Amino acid sequence: MSEGNASAQSAGVGAGVYAGRDVVVTGGTGALGRGVVTALLDAGATCYIPNVDARLLASFELASHPRVRILDGADLLDEAKVAETYAAVPELWASIHLVGGFAMAPLADTSPADFLRMMNLNALTVFLCSRAAVARMREAGRGGRIVNVAARPALSPVGGMAAYAASKAAVVSLTQSLAEELKAERIWVNAIAPSIMDTPDNRRGMPKADFARWPKVDEVARAIAFLASPDNALTTGLVMPVYGLA
């Protein structure tokens, strides 16, 4: 399902690779989002970050960067709002979809509403943002890149999180289907599949875990930055495991 997957192993991009390129990063104010936005800015990108919660910006130190644009009122579950968000980007090169949610519960304790919430947060947002992104990339006429976030349970399912795993499996399927659909237009679509990442929230939630075994945010961010970059000239349809030693 991919072309030249080995190229994705050289994760990371050099200074200036993204110069003059506009990139949307959903979930850009989160732990992984900060890492991705930092990597993109270091490589010369202008980053557009959809946001619906002003409180998140209070602790987002990158908001004042001269190449960061905050797109307020961007409800990524609302088709019209998503279209408005992407219309604000002058010439879209890449769209990176980090926004999502997580929940654990046995099947018997998972309601239809719980299941749909996971599907909406993790799969519907990817669908709506990908559709809007492709429309803008076609307008620009120079190809483009889409990077999604799946998860290890989508590839190696475990018990107790059926709704979450199913929603991330939908992201995998969307990624691979869109890669086939769009490759003739040189729009590459890939995904990463992390295990538990080394974030402050995860450390607080699992204080007895061996943090050294978890993939680091900056390492995952560099992999994403490579997949979304013009340096990635071959790889599409890849779902890249980023598990660290976990």
In tens, the pLDDT along 77-127 reads 999 999 999 999 999 999 999 999 999 999 999 999 999 999 999 999 999
For residues 215 and 246, the answer to whether their CB atoms sit within 8 Å is yes
User: Bridge-partner residues for 198, per DSSP?
Assistant: 216
Tens digits of residue pLDDT in 64-79:
999 999 999 999 999 9
Place domain 16-242 in its CATH homologous superfamily.
NAD(P)-binding Rossmann-like Domain (3.40.50.720)
Res 12: pLDDT: 65
Enter the DSSP assignment of 215: P
Q: pLDDT band for position 55 (50/70/90)?
A: confident
Residue 6 pLDDT > 60 = no
Q: State how far the alpha carbon of 234 is from the alpha carbons of 65, 179, 183, 194, 219, in Å.
A: 31, 12, 10, 22, 21
What predicted TM-score, i.e. pTM, was given to this entire model? Answer: 0.91
Tens digits of residue pLDDT in 116-148:
999 999 999 999 999 999 999 999 999 999 999
Residue 5 pLDDT > 70 = no
Q: What is the mean pLDDT of residues 214-222?
A: 92
Q: pLDDT band for position 198 (50/70/90)?
A: confident
Res 14: pLDDT: 75
Average pLDDT for the chain: 92
Residue 2 pLDDT > 60 = no
Q: What is the mean pLDDT of residues 189-202?
A: 90
The whole-angstrom separation of Cα 1 and Cα 39 is 27
Residue 199 pLDDT > 90 = no
pLDDT: which is higher, 13 or 213: 213
Q: State how far the alpha carbon of 110 is from the alpha carbons of 120, 123, 156, 157, in Å.
A: 15, 18, 20, 16
